[in-house]
């Protein structure tokens, strides 16, 4: 199928075409989904190399599942978020690594370098604090606040109730606030207290 026509198709339709042997669908789907998977993995693991490994594993699992994919069983992205989350948790448990350990390249110089440096400091502090949360809390916080999923979508990904998501979120926020309050000034957050 032509590349342009494939760009407009839904993920599930592309996956069905993939299963029927459409290589263009495979390429379009990869270009669409890989950045999402990578971003989620990086936000959970804080390490580019590990995030790339997880991205590769997640997509391979999707290709493996494609021939048996039932239309309407779940959104492809929901399924992928779940697989990616589980792979990240497995890695965190095995390596006992916490996110925020990597020191990525410094932002290039430019007019908004100061803002990007501040973003970097804030992101690293947040990743470190997230890394200290229990796995499920961290998973819920990343999906809700970094990936932008709704609470029902988070619940679907984690296969728990919306109430359980809200509970995880509430406890996660309390823990983050507690861990990050001492750095409030250093992170450039206004202190009204």
Contacts with another protein, residue ranges (CB under 8 A): 1, 18-24, 26-27, 29-31, 34-35, 38-39, 42-43, 48, 52, 55-56, 59-60, 63-64, 66-67, 104, 116, 118-120, 122-127, 145-146, 173, 176-178, 180-182, 184-185, 187, 189, 191-193
Shortest separation between residue 82's beta carbon and another protein, angstroms: 19
Shortest separation between residue 95's beta carbon and another protein, angstroms: 20
Q: Which contacts (CB < 8 Å, 24+ apart) does range 99-103 have? A: 99/43, 99/44, 99/45, 99/46, 99/47, 99/127, 99/128, 99/130, 99/131, 100/46, 100/124, 100/125, 100/126, 100/127, 100/128, 100/130, 100/131, 101/46, 101/47, 102/46, 102/47, 102/48
Shortest separation between residue 112's beta carbon and another protein, angstroms: 10
Residue 71 or residue 159: which is nearer to another protein going by CB? 71
Residue 97 or residue 122: which is nearer to another protein going by CB? 122
The secondary element (H helix, E strand) that includes residue 93 is helix 76-95
Shortest separation between residue 74's beta carbon and another protein, angstroms: 20
């Amino acid at each position: 199928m032509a590349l342009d026509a494939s760009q407009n198709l839904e993920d599930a339709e592309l996956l069905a075409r993939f299963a029927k042997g459409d290589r263009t669908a495979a390429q379009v789907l990869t270009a669409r989904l890989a950045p999402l998977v990578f971003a989620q993995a990086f936000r959970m693991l804080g390490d580019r190399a590990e995030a790339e490994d997880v991205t590769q594993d997640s997509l391979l699992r999707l290709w493996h599942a494609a021939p048996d994919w039932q239309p309407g069983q779940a959104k492809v992205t929901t399924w992928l978020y779940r697989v990616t989350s589980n792979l990240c948790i497995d890695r965190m448990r095995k390596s006992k690594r916490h996110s925020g350990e990597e020191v990525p390249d410094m932002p290039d110089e430019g007019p908004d370098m100061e803002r990007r440096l501040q973003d970097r400091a804030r992101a690293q502090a947040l990743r470190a604090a997230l890394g200290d949360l229990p796995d499920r809390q961290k998973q819920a916080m990343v999906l809700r606040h970094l990936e932008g999923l709704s609470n029902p979508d988070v619940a679907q990904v984690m296969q728990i109730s919306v109430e359980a998501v809200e509970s995880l979120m509430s406890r996660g926020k309390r823990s983050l606030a507690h861990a990050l309050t001492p750095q409030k000034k250093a992170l450039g957050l206004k202190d009204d207290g």
